[in-house]
Each structure stands twice: as C-alpha cells, then as structure tokens.
Amino acid sequence: MTWRCSTRGAAFALLGLFVLAGCASRESPAAPSPRPPANGTEPATPSPGAQDSAAGPRSTGAGPQPRPYNRVITSAAVSDTGLFRTHRVGERLYFEIPRPELGREQLVISRTVQGGATSGFFGGGMSRVVVWEREGNRILLRQRSHAISADSSAAIYQAVSALNAGPIIAAFNVEAWSPDSAAVIDATRLFTTNINEFAAVNGVASDRSFLNAVYAFPINVNVEATQTGTVPPTPGAGGTPAPAGTRAATVTARQLWSFRRLPDVPMRPRLADKRVGIISVSTVDYSRPEHEATTREYIRRYRLEKQDPNAAVSDPVTPIVFYIDRATPEWLVPWIRSGIEKWEPAYREAGFSNAIEARPAPSPQEDPEWSPFDARHNIIYWRPSNVANATGGQTVDPRTGEILKAEVNMYHNVMQLLRNWYFTQVSPLDPRAQQLPLPDSLMGRLVEYVVTHEVGHAIGFPHNFKASSQYPPDSLRSADFLRRMGGHVATLMDYSRFNYVAQPEDSIPPELLIPGVGPYDRFAIRWQNTPIPGAATPDAEWPTLDRWSRMQDTIPWFRFSTSDATGDAGNITEAVGDADAVLSSTLALKNLERVAGSLLRVAEKPGQDYRLLSDLYGSVVDQWSRYNGHVAAIIGSAETQERYGTGPRFTPTPEARQKQALQFLAAHAFRVPPYLLDRELLRRMEQEGVVNRIRAAQASVLNTLLAGSRLNRLVEDEALARRGENTYNLAELLGDLRRAVWAELNAGNPRIDPYRRNLQRAYLETVARTINPPAAPAAASAAAATTAARAGGDARAVLRGELVELDRAAAAAIARTSDAMTRLHLRDARMEIERILDPRD
C-alpha cells in the first residue's frame, strides 16, 4: 500500500541511509593448493555424473578451458564462506559455486544503499528468482518463472518445465574448479557493467563502477557495488517529452544484491479466498483434475510453526522480527516499536504467542556485516524525504507465498500529512490539536498508526475499503461502541483516517479517534495463520477455510471489498461511516466549519509567513470535496458482498437513497459554504486562486456523477428491475442534476454569482465530453477506446434532451434578468449548447 496507497507488494527504491563496512572480511586465508586435476582442468573426483542432471545438459565444448585453482584464487584472495564461497582478488570478485547449488533456485533482491535517488520516492529496487546452471565449462545465471506449474508426477510436467526456463541473464566462463569440484567464476561484471537485470542506473559506466563489499552467510550472499550511469531527462508538463537539448543526468548509486536460497522444504501453501482478501501469488496449474487450465492462488504469509504443536497457543519456532532503522528519529523509536507489536494480540488469537516483535537494527560497531537490505531481514526504514507518504510490502517465495522479506518505508514528511489530516478532520474533538505544532505525544501516536497500517501490508494484507461502511454512523458517536470494537472502522487497512463523524458534544476520548487493529484484522490473521489439524494439503484445508469465510454472512465487519465491484458506495477511500454517507458527511461538514473558523487563530503567527495557513486551507477544501464525493458515490451504486455460490453479490441502492444523495449535493456541493470564502483568510494567502480551486472541486463531483460507467449502471438497474420496482433511472438523475446546477433559471430575476457560473460551465464541459468524446489517439489502448465508446446509448439521448430543455430555460431567463453578467453568461451558455448539439470541425 502505498500510504496512498496503493496497495501490492510495493516496489521499493532505497536511498542511502546505510554505509556498510568496506571490504574487510571475516576470512583471509591463503589460497589452497589442491592436487592437480587429472586432466589439468576439472578434478577427476568426484565424478560429475548424475550430479549434473539438475543443472542442465553438459557440453564439454562450451567455454574455454579452466585454469588451475591456485592460479585464479591466489594468496592475495580475501575469502568468505557461506551459501557459496566468495573471493576478492584485487578488483575482481569470484564466486565459488558448489555443485549442490547448481539448479537450486535463489531469490535475488536488489536495493539502493546510497545515492541514486532522483526524486523523493526512492526508485531502484527489484527482486527475481534465479538459478545457476552449468553448460560445459560455463555457468549460466538464468531467471526462473513460476507463472505456470504442474505436479512433477504428471505427464505434462516436462513441457511445463520447458516453458518455465527463463532468459539467461549472464554467462560466465568457469575460471577454475575447486578441489571439491565447485565452479569458480568471475562475477565482477554482474555488478559493474550494464547487465539490464542488475543495473541500478541506465548505461552503467564500467570506468566509474566498482565493487565495495561482499559478505557470505549460510543461506545467502550479499554484494555491494557502486554503479554510475544516467537517468532519463525529466518529462515536461503532462508527461510530454523533455525539452529539446535536455540531457540525461549522471547518477551514482551504491547498490546491494542479496542472493538467498529458496527454502529446501517449501512451506505448505494456503489457498486464497476473495472473500477474505489476503495478497496472493498465482500459478496456472496444468496438472489439476479440472477440465481447464486452472489458476491457483496462494496467500502470502510467514511460515509460523508452533514450538509445541499440541498447545492451543505456542511461541513460534521462528518469530516475525522487524528491525527498526537506525535513521529513525530517537523520539519516534518507541512509537515505531509499538506500531509493529500492535499486531501481536491478533497472532495470539491465531494460536501464536510472541509471534511478532520489534528490534533495533544493529549498529556497524555491533555487527559490521549486518545490512537492512539483506534478503533475510524485515525492516522499517525511515526515509529523509519530503514525500508525504508511507509504503509497505513483501518479497515472497513464488512457489508457496511464504514471506521471506518485508519492508516498510516511512517517509519523513508523512508527519506533515498526518498533521493536516488530524487537524482538518478532528481538531474540534481533541484540544491537543487546536494549536500547532502538535505535541510530540500526539504525533508519535499518529506515526504509530501509520506504522501498524504499513506493517499490515508487509505481513500480507491489502487495503479493505469496504470496512468503513460496516458500522452505523450513530454508533461512531458512542465511546462505549468504539471501545468495544477497537475504533471507528473494522480494520486499519482501510483509508478511514480519523473519526470526523463524532461531534464535540459526544465527548469521545481522543485516543478513540484513531483506528486500531480491529475485528476484521483479527479475523484475517486467524484465517491466514491458524493451523488446521489433519489437513495435509491446500485442498484438504479448504472446507475449514470456507466455513470460516462464511462467517461474513452474519458478521458484516468480517467482510472484504468485492473484487470486481465497479460502484459500491461503501467501498471508497478516505471515508468514515459510509454506511450512511449522507448523515456522516453532514456531521463531517459541521466539524469542517469549526476547523475553518479556527484557521486564522492557529496558523497566523508574527514572524512567520502564510505557508501554513495556505496549506491548512487547502486541506479544508480537499476535505469538503471528499465529503461531497462520498455522497456522489451513492448514485448508481450497489451494496455488494463477495460470495462463493451462496446468493446474489450485487444489490442496487434503493431509489430513495440515491435521490437523497443528489439533494445533499445540491445543497452542499453545488453551493459554496461561506466559510470557504472568508476574505480574512483569502487575502492573506493569495491574490487569486479561490474561484478556480472551488471550480475544480465541484467539477470533480460532476465528473463522478456523469461518468460513463455510472450512467450505464443506472440503465442496467432499470433494465433488470422487477415489474413495479422503482429505480432511480437515467432520465430522473440527469433531470434532477440539471435543475440542481441551473436552479437560478427559475427565479423571477435570475442572478448567478461567479462560483455558480463556473459550476455551470463545468457542467457543460462535462456533458460535452460525454456526448462528444474526443477521438482516441491511434495508439490508444483498447480500454481507452472502450471508455470513449461509453458516451453513446441512452446517456447520449437523455443528455441531448436535457440540453434542449436547458437552452429553452436559459433563453427565458435572459429575458427576465437585470444582471448584465448573468445575461452574458447565459448567452454564452446557449452558444455552447448549440456547439455541443451540432459540433462542427
């Protein structure tokens, strides 16, 4: 999840917060002096024989002849032993790969240790599965895929294996054979030249790229190197090409690659279930008994095994450990720790005590070889970045979904985002937030909340925006209810920030304004991790998992977002209490008016400029727009619940609720509240801008209401309605919308102010795009072409009729108005209507 997140295992790019010890090694032996091999190249024993079968076919003519071992690994070598032996000889890095590692899959993770960032969001991380293979006197590094699979006993297995043989990333001559028949290769160029899969920058320049360090451990090897290359020129506005003559910028990145052997005994996978919504891996299994190519999805989770399998609750054999970045501000470390360990009680309900813990990352003095980028370590990074965000994700064994490494990025400026959200949403409810800066104790609690959310992503959970609609708004004003449920939303994996539905008179304790690990989170942890005795295969587990999932039928707060719902008003972001968005937004706007009234008192300080005031005012406008957007989502929506063969998944929203939503928008979205137009605020912040800012917010609501998919849903709801069933049909919506936006036309002496004129122009622009969508470019995607095509059908016909009626009403209003600007505006509107109805090139 990016914090705005988008939610998938996230792609990470890691800025240089850690500089590991240079080239000092644990082991600097004199090179061994093996007995000369029988043929002068490869040792006569042990015979390669069957050991080569897993590493691919053997062709003795491939590659040049190796040299004697001690001519390659000389007495100058600095060596280390682990997954395979590594040797530094001058500027060269040699890997000594034992025969058992040939053909055995490894996960290689790359992260940026230092430099390389061209923006605040840290691009430059990757992970892939690779395998070392022997081809005669060469070693190939090949990428492996698990997109398709088959049981090894099935006839189709050989064909599937052949298709899974991925591209060769690099090929290395065998420089020598060790005394125990390990292949010695010069791996230097893998890290210092422009091999695409290992390049952290574009066009790696070998003369400015070099090795830094290498460390070998029992199941992994870490290599650090510095790469210098370029980054593309920054695109122009709107993604246009960079201006002519703009050159690529030089960039240097210190990168760490961590090679980790995949588990010898794969974890038993657990089948995924869309009703629960845990992040998964997938494979098309060609050996299933179904009469089709079957996609199997397995959830992502840690391998938790009880120390005492017979105990109801037991410590795990291997706990989940998250290390806290040493770059974290000292005062925040306890909050980070608490944010991680908030998940511990949920794991206990799944049968595991002390399953998750936080530890400080070792210092270079404590462990000079420890790296946060090591493929074995889970880490909470603290990023010196002005990006107001946070992300969380994980890297897994693609065979089973076992999480091998999880990472959370906390960008420093997330605190600014948290300040603005908390102040704008709930400062009337918390005296600590009625002056800025917020106290450290409050900011620490807010950071803790974000950490817990991002750790949720790291342990396997996506966003669940459905959760914000599972509690009635009135219950969110009850302290007893909030204590019992653990907060105002069933999961902190929703974007349901702070409880803006509560009112000052409700006297909600401030600690209950922030969500915590809720009932859905605990349910999902149990579903993900609870052992199922007697079930030896994923299929054997399914009856129990299905029974657990069906608990959602009677316990709504266990529900997850419906995977293919296109219009569920209860499944939207940044919402609180959207079981009834009209009531919740009405209450939210009361708080927002209180917030706006405090802006000048809070943000005006002698000796300081007005950036803070401008920032907070912008946040207030954004919240006004969001609250209106939550209500707009009701129109053309349906209540949805993911089901597996137990009944309807989509129930259209009743007509009365949709009509109520449009009435709300007419009063609150299409009319600008006076508190957003306070001259005392605006004349301090800017000379101009408020009119366009308001227009943009209102245009967003219009775009929502007139979206092609929404209009199509109204047509389908009418088409599928039972005889006598009332639906909010397309003609009703568009008629009500026209009357709401152009209400002044009914007045005896119409007068239309600048904000309403802008709203009406935005209406005509949106209608024009719907009736006459711009032609999709020749290179446009099929999806873009389909979106453009949605402007036809009933929507086009009804909108044309609405424009004809609007033109008639505007002509009549022109004759009645005494306001010159209103008259000019309506004349312009009529000309625009004519252009829309009869477009000419």
Identify whether 801 is part of a domain: yes
Query: Looking at the predicted structure, is the pLDDT value of residue 62 above 90?
Result: no
Identify whether 782 is part of a domain: yes
Residue of higher predicted confidence among 58 and 636? 636
**Residue 374: which of 745, 717, 106, 111 has the closest Cα?**
111
Query: Looking at the predicted structure, is the pLDDT value of residue 27 above 90?
Result: no
Question: Which H/E stretch holds residue 458?
Answer: helix 440-458
- Local confidence band at 773 (pLDDT 50, 70, 90 cut-offs): confident
Residue of higher predicted confidence among 744 and 1? 744
pLDDT digits (tens, 9 = 90+) for 625-682: 999 999 999 999 999 999 999 999 999 999 999 999 999 999 999 999 999 999 999 9
Q: By CB neighbour count within 10 A (0-12 exposed, 13-18 middle, 19+ buried), where does 317 fall? A: exposed
pLDDT at 232: 74
Identify whether 321 is part of a domain: no
For 250-309, the three-class secondary structure string (H helix, E strand, C coil) is EEEEEEEEEEEECCCCCCCCCECCCCCCCCEEEEEECCCCCCCCEEEEEECECCCCECCC
pLDDT digits (tens, 9 = 90+) for 116-131: 654 444 545 789 999 9
Query: Looking at the predicted structure, is the pLDDT value of residue 226 above 70?
Result: yes
C-alpha distances in Å from residue 772, one per residue of 768, 769, 788, 830: 6, 5, 9, 17
pLDDT at 428: 98
pLDDT at 292: 92
pLDDT at 692: 93
Query: Looking at the predicted structure, is the pLDDT value of residue 43 above 70?
Result: no
Q: By CB neighbour count within 10 A (0-12 exposed, 13-18 middle, 19+ buried), where does 299 fall? A: buried
pLDDT at 465: 97
**Residue 406: which of 356, 364, 360 has the closest Cα?**
356
pLDDT at 45: 35
pLDDT at 381: 96
Residue of higher predicted confidence among 807 and 59? 807
343, 455 Cβ separation under 8 angstroms: yes
pLDDT digits (tens, 9 = 90+) for 523-572: 999 999 999 999 999 999 999 999 999 999 999 999 999 999 999 999 99
Instruction: Find the domain containing 745 and state its range.
Output: 737-841
First to last CA, the chain: 45
- Local confidence band at 468 (pLDDT 50, 70, 90 cut-offs): very high
Task: Give the rounded percent of residues in the chain with a pLDDT score beyond 70.
Answer: 88
Q: What is the DSSP string of 687-738?
A: SS-HHHHHHHHHHHHHHHHT-HHHHHHHHHHHHHPPTT-----HHHHHHHHH
Query: Looking at the predicted structure, is the pLDDT value of residue 138 above 90?
Result: yes
- Local confidence band at 778 (pLDDT 50, 70, 90 cut-offs): low
Q: Interhelix angle for 730-741 vs 708-720, to 10°?
A: 140
Estimate the share of the chain in helix, then strand, then coil, as percent rounded to the nearest 5.
40, 20, 40
pLDDT at 562: 96
Edge to edge, what strands does the sheet with 356-360 contain? 356-360, 320-324, 378-383, 403-411, 390-396
Take residue 539 and report the two structure tokens written for it.
């299929």
pLDDT (average), residues 780-792: 47
Least confident piece of the model among 159-173, 692-706, 766-780: 766-780
Going by their DSSP bridges, the two strands 148-149 and 280-285 should be labelled as: parallel
pLDDT at 33: 37
Least confident piece of the model among 144-148, 240-244, 737-741: 240-244
pLDDT at 792: 54
pLDDT at 243: 72
Identify whether 343 is part of a domain: no
> Residue 615: what are its φ and ψ, rounded to 5°?
-60, -45
Identify whether 128 is part of a domain: yes
Give dist(CA 714, CA 292) in Å, integer.
35
Give dist(CA 111, CA 16) in Å, integer.
10
pLDDT digits (tens, 9 = 90+) for 69-92: 999 999 999 999 999 999 999 999
pLDDT at 776: 61
- Local confidence band at 283 (pLDDT 50, 70, 90 cut-offs): very high
110, 195 Cβ separation under 8 angstroms: no
pLDDT at 36: 37
C-alpha distances in Å from residue 653, one per residue of 76, 343, 642, 661, 728: 76, 36, 16, 11, 9
Whole-number average pLDDT of the chain: 90
Q: What is the pTM of this model?
A: 0.90
Q: By CB neighbour count within 10 A (0-12 exposed, 13-18 middle, 19+ buried), where does 478 fall? A: middle
Q: Interhelix angle for 730-741 vs 690-705, to 10°?
A: 170
- The number of residues in the chain equals 841
Identify whether 22 is part of a domain: no
Identify whether 133 is part of a domain: yes
pLDDT digits (tens, 9 = 90+) for 477-494: 999 999 999 999 999 999
Place of tokens 């996978």: 269
513, 498 Cβ separation under 8 angstroms: yes
pLDDT (average), residues 284-312: 96
Identify whether 575 is part of a domain: no
Split into its structural domains, the chain has a count of: 2
